[in-house]
Amino acid sequence: MPLCKRMQKRSHQTICKRMGNVTCYPPLHDNIRDVYDKASSSSKTPWKISDNSRHTREIQGAGCRLSCAEDHTHEVTKNCYRQTKIGAVALWDIGTDTGEIASAVTVPSAKTSDLSHAATQVSKRTNFNPSALCSDRWPTKEAHWAILFGDNVVGRLGLFHFIQHLLKTIRKRHIDCYRALNQLLDATHVYNQHHCERLLQALKAGTIGGRPHDDEDILCLKSSKQFRKRCRKCLRKKMQPPDAICKKLDDWFVQFEVTAADGSRSALGSLDPITKEPLFTSETKEMVGNCKLKAQFLQDPLPLERMCSVVPPNLNSQHGLPEHLSYRGESNLEAFHLMLAHFGNNGVQETLADNLNLTRTARHNLTMRHKIRLSKLTDENSMRQRSKIPAAWEPIVSYWNHAELAHINQIAQTAGCNPPFD
């Protein structure tokens, strides 16, 4: 045993003995990680497949029929202890319209040449035939994606990156920052009026949000993050036409600009009362012009009815509002990045980092498939079965390892019993 680990073990024993006559002590954190890593790669299970292989096959089985989205994320690479040595600068992934992740690989850079092999492997799947592609760099490298998915694939710039291009040029600590963000979102899309009306009724009745809301409470809620987090799933989003986006971007710029050029519209913005700085930086005006040029790539590639699926409300739900699952690949992909970032900063060996990331990615896919299954349960018998499950517990996946359930079914059939699981 190395000297550092021997000293660590001895100090661990000393601490436990000072707490009392303790002769047994829990394993060290290094041992726990090593055991988990070894167990994840072991196929010595009754169903004869390791967790590593099972999760890999789960990701490789994801298909696409409408739209997909590709992007890079960097936080998760901090899992690897020697990320610079092994060339793990970023993680490239591609998500489907249903929110599943079809591929997630570490790449040495954000260049297209470094992700080309993984993208080619995905394009060769028989169940991966997207009609549209969302990319944070579109229309850059348009010819490359046309080779992989065909000339008929429709390219789009996702709304998230369209907004981020502008937010990177403004000062986040300015007092008007969040108000500017809300108005920027209003300039790009609108919500279905019928859905908004039903949501307002539920907020005022107190069936959503925990308590009745008056008009002032609703106004404050709409200008907070809680509204998007709690209520956005009940609303269907429709993108604005390109000309309308360009016009509203000009209005948005004038609304928060402090000094106007000669011959242009009067500026309506103000300085921050603490820092005495304007909201916009020197790069904001140029970025607004670039976003106006790319506004044509924000439109949905398919009719609005095909861009989302509706999950009927559980009979136990108090508000009775359906949930809309978006088929815009980029929004689901960015939600996955936000969740995956929580696994960063671990600094573990490469094999353990792979097992952790594979596990979380595969479970994310199972969660999305569970939500899609709920959206298809519309007949009376299915709704009656759903009513037996509490509404708050319904989105939770009941089991992760379906290979184990299949093994149990096989044991039951061998014994002459009916299989207990679907």
- 95-109, 191-205, 216-230, 281-295: least confident range: 216-230
Let me know if residue 413 belongs to a domain.
no
Beta 189-191 vs 154-156: how paired, if at all?
unpaired
Same domain, yes or no: 184 and 297: yes
Among 79, 98, 132, 126, which Cα is nearest to 370's?
Answer: 98
Same domain, yes or no: 267 and 289: yes
Same domain, yes or no: 165 and 298: yes
Same domain, yes or no: 248 and 175: yes
Let me know if residue 193 belongs to a domain.
yes
Same domain, yes or no: 224 and 343: no
Strand pairing partners for 156?
Answer: 134
Same domain, yes or no: 94 and 172: no
Instruction: Provide mean pLDDT across the span 62-79.
Output: 86
For residue 193, what are the domain limits?
161-306
User: For residue 12, is pLDDT > 60?
Assistant: no
Same domain, yes or no: 177 and 291: yes
Same domain, yes or no: 125 and 190: no
Same domain, yes or no: 237 and 166: yes
Let me know if residue 144 belongs to a domain.
yes
- Residues 6 or more apart whose CB falls under 8 angstroms from that of 167 comprise 181, 184
Q: Name the domain boundary from 306, 338, 365.
A: 306
Instruction: Provide mean pLDDT across the span 395-415.
Output: 91
pLDDT score of 55: 93
Beta carbons of 285 and 253 less than 8 angstroms apart: yes
Q: In the chain, what percentage of residues exceed pLDDT 70?
A: 92
Q: Name the domain boundary from 275, 306, 337.
A: 306
Q: Which has more confidence, 28 or 164? A: 164
Same domain, yes or no: 191 and 234: yes
Same domain, yes or no: 350 and 275: no
How far apart, in whole angstroms, are the C-alpha atoms of residue 70 and residue 120? 13
Same domain, yes or no: 216 and 292: yes
Which domain CATH number covers 77?
3.30.420.10
Instruction: Provide mean pLDDT across the span 353-366.
Output: 88
Instruction: Provide mean pLDDT across the span 354-363.
Output: 88
Q: In the chain, what percentage of residues exceed pLDDT 90?
A: 18
Q: Which has more confidence, 230 or 204? A: 204
pLDDT score of 101: 92
Let me know if residue 404 belongs to a domain.
no
Structural domain count, the chain: 2
- pLDDT one-digit tens code per residue, 246-258: 999 999 998 998 8
Q: Which long-range contacts (CB under 8 A, 24 or more apart) does 375-383 make?
A: 375/309, 375/310, 375/311, 375/312, 375/325, 377/312, 378/312, 383/312, 383/315
Let me know if residue 232 belongs to a domain.
yes
Q: Which has more confidence, 319 or 171? A: 171
How far apart, in whole angstroms, are the C-alpha atoms of residue 388 and residue 207? 20
**Residue 103, SS3?**
strand
Q: Which has more confidence, 11 or 141? A: 141
Let me know if residue 292 belongs to a domain.
yes
Q: Name the domain boundary from 306, 339, 370.
A: 306
pLDDT score of 252: 92
Let me know if residue 417 belongs to a domain.
no
